[in-house]
Amino acid sequence: PTGSLLYPYGPDQGDKTNPKLDDGTSEAITLSVPFTFYGKTYQTVFVNNNGVISFDEPVKQYTPDPFPLVDERPFVTPFWADVDNVLGGDIFYRQTTDPALLGDISQHITQYFPKSPFTATWALVATWDHVAYYGSTSEKGNTFQAVLTTDSKMFYIILNYWDIQWTTGAASDGDAETGLGGTPAHVGFNSGDDTNFYNIPGSQTDAIINITTTSNVKVPGRWVFRVDKFQVTGV
């Protein structure tokens, strides 16, 4: 699907594609611009099939835990649940300095945060395209995207939800036919300590399926956060 909510993605954009592997991950992605998250700077990320972007270490866990995590893993969860891209869908990612894309990102963030004009110099775009859930007996797929971006001073993450049809894999007590019930997906940010974290409202409840209609920047399906020194905005 294409829509104004999602930034361009796919092989024709130069994206790499994750392996078809349940609980799989990308290779280690060495960032061309280090990324600051909750006051710490990282040079390596993983785009994990199960809806997690993690710093330094991959994440194969498929049933989400609420934040703060006790094991000090720093990551963002665009939609942490039991994705199975063997059954359907693809996970794409790229680092980019494309002027047209960075122009769009800069315009959006400056619109949402007018007191801090922003000119993006780099972005990492990760897209889960119509991904299936573990144990699925349906054709349901989820399409969502996460963008890490910076002007080298401020660091933002944009979460875009285009089409969310399921919340739970069968090994997380979800229904194989509906992809609902059990322990639903978690959406949020975990700093790696036990005091700094953010859970998007509805996480790990049935209501998370409605994230395509919610927002903190008045754009249904889009959530945007400044994450170098994490700031909750407009909630």
**For the segment 152-173, what is each residue's pLDDT rounded down to a tens digit?**
999 999 999 999 999 999 999 9
H/E element holding 99?
helix 99-112
Sign of CA dihedral 151, 9, 47, 185: positive
pLDDT digits (tens, 9 = 90+) for 112-163: 999 999 999 999 999 999 999 999 999 999 999 999 999 999 999 999 999 9
| DSSP, res 210 | G
pTM: 0.97
How far apart are the C-alpha atoms of 73 and 75, rounded to whole Å? 6
The predicted structure's pLDDT at residue 2:
54
Tell me if 83 sits within 8 A of 94, measured CB to CB: no
pLDDT at 235: 56
